[in-house]
């Protein structure tokens, strides 16, 4: 438990003791780690914390649909190739090759946003701990090479399914929204707000969007943080409500049958929630 507390203190993590312990157990066993959960639950923070705890070189890749295989493995510099031809001396290793050679950690943020062709490049590295690069040859991974990846659930925009073969090479740790007390502590620390009532109300408003029948997708704790930061710079009795509209509008989705515009629904919902809170 001292190790977990040290990680929490070093990286400013509130709670997540069970998830950190399981993630460290996975990596300690020499297995690759996949952290999965909705937006805003701290997947990246936890991933970077456990990567940092290992004390190895960490190479970060942020997944998107334009990422290419060459960006992951490496590339040849055309002007140099024209002079010297293709070969190991004209090859610039990418993050995967560097992590393999150095026995480091490849951290892939939002793995399931990457194109399938890029995901497939990982398979031999994860499974056989080797990869063949044209004009370079076979690259073998050092024994301490590991991959840590995060992903959002597949129902989120711009995400897709990982292949069964790729998922089978990872051990899974799920992260979910934390309880209210933990979220209040996180928002208070992140915003530096001394108004405990404002912090508590912002968290409750945000949490209500995750359960309210008119919302298809609720907001993450980032909405509560934004709400507090904006409200701190406003004045008047409706400061939090005004801030809430700004913070929630970009972070929630309404159900198709909601029947009204977002502003009108937010106004009614926020009034109702304020009554419940008070």
Query: Do 152 and 37 form a contact (C-beta atoms < 8 A)?
Result: yes
pLDDT band, residue 157 (cuts 50/70/90) = very low
Give the mean pLDDT of the chain: 85
Please determine, for residue 160, whether its predicted confidence score (pLDDT) is greater than 80.
Answer: no
261 vs 171: which has the higher pLDDT: 171
Say which residue, 39 or 78, is predicted with more confidence: 39
The vertex-97 CA angle with 91 and 98, nearest 5°, equals: 95
* Number of neighbouring beta carbons within 10 Å of residue 31: 15
Lowest-confidence pick of 61-75, 84-98, 113-127 = 84-98
Q: What is the pLDDT of residue 155?
A: 55
On the question of pLDDT at 77 being above 50, the answer is yes
Residue 85: the pLDDT is 61
User: For 109-125, how does the pLDDT look when each residue is reduced to its tens digit (9 = 90+)?
Assistant: 988 888 888 888 888 88
More confident of the two residues 257 and 66: 66
pLDDT for the residue numbered 264: 77
CA–CA separation, 38 and 151 (whole Å): 8
First vs last C-alpha separation in the chain: 39
Q: Residue 84 has what pLDDT?
A: 61
For residues 173-187, average pLDDT:
93
Report pLDDT for 183.
Answer: 94
pLDDT given at position 87: 64
Q: What is the pLDDT of residue 107?
A: 96
Task: Give the Å distances, CA to CA, from 196 to 40, 150, 162, 190.
Answer: 22, 32, 42, 13
Domains identified in the chain and CATH numbers: 2-174 (3.40.50.300), 180-277 (1.10.8.80)
Whether 37 contacts 85, CB under 8 Å: no
Q: What number is the average pLDDT over the span 164-177?
A: 89
Summarised one tens digit per residue, pLDDT across range 206-257 is 998 888 888 888 899 999 999 999 999 998 888 888 898 899 988 888 877 6
Q: Given this model, what pLDDT does residue 238 score?
A: 83
Phi-psi region of 232 (alpha: psi -120 to 50; beta: other; left: phi over 0): alpha
Kindly state the average pLDDT of the residues 32-52: 91
């Amino acid at each position: 438990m001292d190790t977990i507390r040290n990680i929490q203190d070093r990286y400013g993590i509130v709670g997540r003791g069970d998830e950190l312990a399981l993630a460290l157990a996975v990596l300690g066993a020499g297995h690759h780690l996949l952290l999965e959960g909705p937006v805003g639950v701290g997947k990246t923070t936890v991933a970077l914390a456990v990567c940092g705890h290992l004390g190895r070189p960490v190479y970060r890749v942020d997944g998107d649909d334009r990422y290419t295989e060459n960006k992951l493995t490496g590339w040849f510099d055309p002007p140099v190739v024209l002079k010297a031809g293709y070969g190991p001396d004209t090859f610039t290793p990418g993050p995967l090759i560097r992590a393999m050679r150095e026995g480091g950690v490849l951290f892939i943020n939002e793995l399931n946003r990457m194109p399938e062709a890029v995901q497939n490049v990982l398979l031999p590295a994860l499974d056989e701990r080797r990869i063949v690069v044209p004009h370079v040859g076979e690259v073998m991974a050092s024994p301490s090479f590991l991959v840590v990846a995060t992903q959002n659930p597949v129902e989120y925009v711009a995400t897709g399914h990982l292949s069964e073969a790729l998922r089978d090479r990872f051990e899974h740790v799920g992260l979910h929204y934390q309880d209210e007390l933990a979220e209040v502590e996180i928002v208070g620390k992140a915003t530096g707000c001394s108004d405990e009532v404002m912090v508590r109300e912002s968290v409750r408003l945000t949490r209500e969007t995750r359960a309210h029948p008119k919302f298809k997708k609720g907001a993450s704790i980032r909405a509560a943080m934004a709400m507090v930061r904006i409200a701190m710079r406003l004045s008047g009795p409706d400061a939090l409500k005004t801030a809430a509209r700004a913070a929630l509008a970009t972070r929630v989705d309404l159900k198709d049958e909601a029947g009204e515009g977002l502003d009108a629904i937010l106004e009614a919902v926020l009034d109702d929630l304020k009554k419940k809170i008070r």
